[in-house]
Amino acid sequence: MKVLVPVKRVIDYNVKVRVKGDGTGVDLANVKMSMNPFDEIAVEEAIRLKEKGAVEEIVVVSIGVKQSQETLRTALAMGADRAILITAADDVHNDIEPLAVAKLLKAVIDEEQPGLVLCGKQAIDNDMNATGQMLSALLGWSQATFASEVAIEGDSAVVKREVDGGMQSIKVKMPAVISVDLRLNEPRYASLPNIMKAKKKPLDEKTPADYGVDVAPRLEIVKTSEPAERQAGIMVGSVEELVDKLKNEAGVI
Amino acid sequence: MAVLLLAEVTDGVLNADATGKAVTAVKSLGDVTVLCAGGQASDAAAEAAKIDGVAKVLCAEDALYSHRLAEPTAALIVSLAGDYSHIAAPATTDAKNILPRVAALLDVMILTDVSGVVDADTFERPIYAGNAIQTVKSKDATKVMTIRVSTFDAAGSGNSAPVENISAADAPGLSEWVADHVAESDRPELTSAGIVVSGGRGVGSEEDFKLIEGLADKLGAAIGASRAAVDSGYAPNDWQVGQTGKVVAPDLYVAVGISGAIQHLAGMKDSKVIVAINKDEEAPIFQVADYGLVADLFQAVPELTDKL
Ligand SMILES: Cc1cc2nc3c(=O)[nH]c(=O)nc-3n(C[C@H](O)[C@H](O)[C@H](O)COP(=O)(O)OP(=O)(O)OC[C@H]3O[C@@H](n4cnc5c(N)ncnc54)[C@H](O)[C@@H]3O)c2cc1C
Ligand SMILES: Nc1ncnc2c1ncn2[C@@H]1O[C@H](COP(=O)(O)O)[C@@H](O)[C@H]1O
């Protein structure tokens, strides 16, 4: 079986995001970019399935600016076999919407015919949590979102999902789209020899036009603003003082 | 204009808080029709009919919807979509699973976690773990959106909207439910509780999380946790508060042994009053806390539980 893993290049999760003064977006100039943390987990899961013999080939796909090839190289260094870069924007501030990403991924999947897609549950920049579900819909496939355990059993997959009430196990028909949650695994680091080897692995470069997909946004960004700031509070010296403040000042207990 | 709102129904029971808050968010957009889907849904539909501002309730009771699997539930919503300008749901894990699928089937973009409704086409939503708020205008014919309910007040109740039973849509037959793993608890539900006590990695073990539970029980509070506490096995996954967990905005949020990473703040910084107990006076959590106490939690928490 072939597995396809979409990986997104996003602002590193440690960076404190700043809204631009003119309200046109957040400042992404010269900030550290990394692979979306959920996508590292998806790549790791694909590699583990390959190590178990359930998977023969791992194809990683990224859609965005040209520099996303760094993200693809990271995935290749972790253990993916082949990469496809779809250059759909020339400015990093120009995010491609999940609907357009899903359409491009569907076109790739029509060509590649993987038996499974493992994607992240959410990109930590736009916080959409939508692409996997949209892709599954466009393909007419089954979906298992927020996976924290995946077991492939013949032509189906049993997935344990993180839901509001706790956990839910479902069985989905393959081919399927599975979106991964934080506790599925701990991604490995790429070793130096593997980073060197990754430079020689195939990376195809494409554009949305190659797939005949229109990536024009459906949502017009009117403005981007700072969230309401919290007033700085006070430090209390003792538990007694804390109880007094909560009772008599804040009135919350 | 008309709104179809997917109610949150679990095992036949309406989540009146989340559904009521979502009604408040969308009622300016047109007549609100609430859809209750489930293996059992008639009791939930009767409850939903009481929510103020609801014009009508549709009840789809069929084994197909027992476990709210994404494929059949999305197919049902799509079969009804033609009558509505907006399709919405509270941003629960169920709706996050289902509504993007609906949007793609309708060839429209999804608006997730909407925290503000500006007009029929224009909405606010947090991005980058809530470090920025984006205002977006949708050009799509149908707006499909999930609502961040912590930013809206619940609608009142006392209404008696008509309930109409509807039949099931096609069964895509792509997935089946296997099991739920749900812990029973008498404590208030995390996202609707008035008080939340959360523990972090600083608590140190599953056993010591009993300290957090003791304080929560004394306050009649729900319990939350940081990702680190959940990853370390001190707390179950459904207690996680944050960017990728639950979003809460209680009257009082008590953070114990939590450093205050942006991903955690994303889930609690709209709480009315925040208390932080941490032994490190430099911990970033103190920057958002109304009341900070620099102390060892193993002394401060038992003392606090005692004094309440
Ligand atoms: C993609 C992604 C998504 C994430 N999503 C979330 C999310 O949804 N929610 C979330 O919470 N995190 C999330 N995180 C993780 C986040 O970045 C932090 O790692 C996490 O919140 C840290 O948890 P903590 O504060 O409990 O642990 P730490 O940062 O280790 O802090 C522990 C604190 O306990 C204090 N402490 C230790 N001992 C004591 C004592 N005896 N008495 C008092 N204080 C003590 C320490 O001073 C320290 O401040 C996410 C990260 C990523 C990459
Ligand atoms: N531009 C992109 N390129 C590759 N994968 C993407 C892209 N956008 C989203 N994805 C995938 O879809 C997941 C969910 O993203 P989102 O729906 O934007 O929150 C991510 O974790 C990725 O696996």
Query: CA nearest B45: which of B31, B62, B26?
Result: B62
The closest CB to that of B137, out of A97, A168, A219, belongs to A219
Q: What's the CATH fold of domain B195-307?
A: Rossmann fold (3.40.50)
- Confidence check: pLDDT of B183 > 90: no
What is the per-residue pLDDT for A185?
A: 98
Between strands B222-225 and A9-11, the pairing is unpaired
Contacting residues for A51 by C-beta, under 8 A, at least 6 apart: none
Q: Tell me how many degrees the CA angle B123-B129-B134 measures, rounded to the nearest 5.
A: 25
Per-residue pLDDT averaged across A139-167, rounded? 97
What is the per-residue pLDDT for A230?
A: 87
SS3 for B204?
Answer: coil
Which of ligand 2's atoms lies nearest the C-alpha of A119? Answer: 23
B3 to chain A, closest Cα gap in Å: 19
Per-residue pLDDT averaged across B149-171, rounded? 96
SS3 for A132?
Answer: helix
- Given the candidates 3.10.20.740, 3.40.50.620, 3.10.129.10, 1.10.287.1040, the CATH classification of the domain at B2-165 is 3.40.50.620
The closest CB to that of A182, out of B136, B138, B227, belongs to B227
What is the per-residue pLDDT for A232?
A: 78
Q: Per residue in B224-277, pLDDT tens? A: 999 999 999 999 999 999 999 999 999 999 999 999 999 999 999 999 999 999
Kindly list the structural domains of chain A, giving each domain's residue range(s) and its CATH number in brackets, ordered by start.
Answer: 2-250 (3.40.50.620)
The answer, for B163 touching chain A at a CB cutoff of 8 Å, is no
Q: Find the residue in A nearest to B261 (Cα).
A: A14
> In B, residues 165-224, which contact A (CB 8 Å cutoff)?
173-183, 191, 195, 219
Phi-psi region of B23 (alpha: psi -120 to 50; beta: other; left: phi over 0): alpha
Q: What's the rounded Cα separation, in Å, for the pair A97 and B194?
A: 36
A208 close to ligand 2 (CB < 6 Angstrom): no
Q: Per residue in B100-140, pLDDT tens? A: 999 999 999 999 999 999 999 999 999 999 999 999 999 99
What is the per-residue pLDDT for B158?
A: 96
SS3 for B60?
Answer: strand
Q: Per residue in A39-62, pLDDT tens? A: 999 999 999 999 999 999 999 999
Any idea how long chain B is? 308
In this complex, do B127 and A127 lie within 8 Å of one another by their Cβ atoms? Answer: yes
- Confidence check: pLDDT of A217 > 90: yes
- How high is the mean pLDDT of chain A? 97
Q: Per residue in B134-144, pLDDT tens? A: 999 999 999 99
The closest CB to that of B104, out of A17, A99, A240, belongs to A99
Q: What's the rounded Cα separation, in Å, for the pair A249 and A243?
A: 10
- B2-165 and B195-307 share one fold: yes
Contacting residues for B282 by C-beta, under 8 A, at least 6 apart: none
- Confidence check: pLDDT of B145 > 90: yes
Per-residue pLDDT averaged across A182-211, rounded? 97
In this complex, do A218 and B292 lie within 8 Å of one another by their Cβ atoms? Answer: no
Q: Check the CA dihedral B75-B76-B80-B81 and report its sign.
A: negative
- Other CB atoms closer than 10 Å to residue A149's CB: what's the count? 15
- Is-cis flag, bond preceding B126, omega within 30? no
B153 close to ligand 1 (CB < 6 Angstrom): no
Instruction: Give the residue, out of A8, A143, A211, with the most ligand 2 atoms within 8 A of its beta carbon, to mutate for a pocket test.
Output: A8
- Cut 0.90: pTM above it: yes
Contacts of A133 in chain B (CB under 8 A): 70, 97-101, 104
Q: Per residue in B7-28, pLDDT tens? A: 999 999 999 999 999 999 999 9
> In B, residues 15-74, which contact A (CB 8 Å cutoff)?
67, 69-71, 74
What is the per-residue pLDDT for A23?
A: 93
Find the helix or strand (DSSP H, E) in which A14 lies: none
Q: Per residue in A163-183, pLDDT tens? A: 999 999 999 999 999 999 999
- Confidence check: pLDDT of B282 > 90: yes
Q: Structural domain boundaries of chain B?
A: 2-165, 195-307
Contacts of B138 in chain A (CB under 8 A): 218-220
Find the helix or strand (DSSP H, E) in which B116 lies: strand B116-117
Q: What's the rounded Cα separation, in Å, for the pair B142 and B34?
A: 17
Between strands B2-6 and B31-38, the pairing is parallel
- Other CB atoms closer than 10 Å to residue A143's CB: what's the count? 29
Query: CA nearest B206: which of B181, B191, B223?
Result: B223
Per-residue pLDDT averaged across A218-226, rounded? 97
Per-residue pLDDT averaged across A139-148, rounded? 98
Contacts of B111 in chain A (CB under 8 A): 219
Angstrom distances, CA of residue B88 to CA of B10, B95, B100, B151: 17, 9, 11, 15
What is the per-residue pLDDT for A81?
A: 98
